[in-house]
Amino acid sequence: MSKPYGFRYRSGQYVFLQCPTISPFEWHPFSITSAPGDDYISVHIQTRGDWTQELKHIFVENYFSPCLPSRASFGELGMPEQKSPPRLLVDGPYGAPAQDFRNYDVLLLVGLGIGATPFISILRDLLNNIKLADELMDLSMETSRSEDSSNTFSVSTASSNKRRAYRTSRAHFYWVTREPGSFEWFKSVMDEVAEMDKKGVIELHNYLTSVYEERDARTTLLSMVQALNHAKNGIDIVSGTRVRTHFARPNWREEFTRISAKHPGSTVGVFYCGKPTLAKELKKLSLEMSRKTMTRFHFHKEYF
């Protein structure tokens, strides 16, 4: 959507949307998936009820239809009229736990299915920061070669200020879903992160849970085929992206142990969005690993 004038938000927040074409009274909440620096607002909507089904129908039939319907309307010159997209009203933004991600050195983001949406905005935000930092670094190197020392000072100062504004240095994103088709939702984002993140700031992990158990022979065969295809073509056979897909559920204790060993002495913000079941395990591990290791895990949850 086009961003309303003066509309400001933080990654992790959400908005309420109304489509007057469907109902002038219904408002529905959706997490923002665009980054604050983008010149638009985006949300990802899963069709689950009457309102979302009708919204999808309006967009597909009137705006994204690849061919003209049988009852197409024509203008005075006999050309088919291009229908404008439906008008959407935005209320918000509203605060959510994930908006405080900048308070932590390291991020552990866990999304179940459509629960990945609030973290997509965070990944975009981090990616934009990586791009900006690289641009500032290139500019600083160019100006350092020139004779104007004052420009060098101003650019390096701006670069250091930007780095100070971003306390977060690393992010680990775990997306757990049952449907292989779900990976299409954020395919472009994952490919962009994999391509732009040369320094390995963002770690992406996809988990598909609708296959077999972890030690099942069929899972092992799938993993072998997948590894060969990824090594040969650089593309995952399940997600269609550069990010490798793991089968079965993550071993969260092993993941927490690995992250604590990788970031000793750091403060890790654990952000979860999904159903309540997994929240208990993640909260328990956050408390346990904070006591046993030098790494401090702070747990935040958001249910959908």
Confidence band, pLDDT 50/70/90 cuts, at residue 154: very low
- CB neighbour list of residue 217: distance below 8 Å, 6 or more residues apart: none
Distances (CA, A) of 152 to 3, 67, 134, 136, 155: 35, 55, 15, 11, 5
Question: Is the pLDDT score of 68 beyond 70?
Answer: no
By C-alpha distance, which of 215, 220, 297, 222 is closest to 255? 297
231-276 tens-digit pLDDT: 555 554 444 545 566 667 889 999 999 999 999 999 999 999 988 8
Look up residue 43 and give its DSSP letter: B
164-215 tens-digit pLDDT: 456 788 899 998 887 767 777 777 777 777 777 777 788 888 888 765 454 5
pLDDT of residue 127: 80
Determine the 3-state secondary structure of 176 from DSSP.
strand
Q: CA 93, CA 11: separation in Å to the nearest integer?
A: 10
- Tokens 């203008």 sit at which residue? 75
All CATH 3.40.50.80 domain ranges in the chain, comma separated: 97-136+167-301
pLDDT of residue 263: 93
CATH code for 97-136+167-301? 3.40.50.80
Q: Which of 54-58, 127-131, 159-163, 275-279 comes out lowest in average pLDDT?
A: 159-163
Single pTM value for the model: 0.75
Question: Is there a contact between 111 and 282 (Cβ–Cβ < 8 Å)?
Answer: no
Determine the 3-state secondary structure of 47 from DSSP.
coil
- As a whole number, mean pLDDT of residues 285-300 equals 95
174-184 tens-digit pLDDT: 988 877 677 77
pLDDT of residue 148: 53
Question: Is the pLDDT score of 20 beyond 80?
Answer: yes
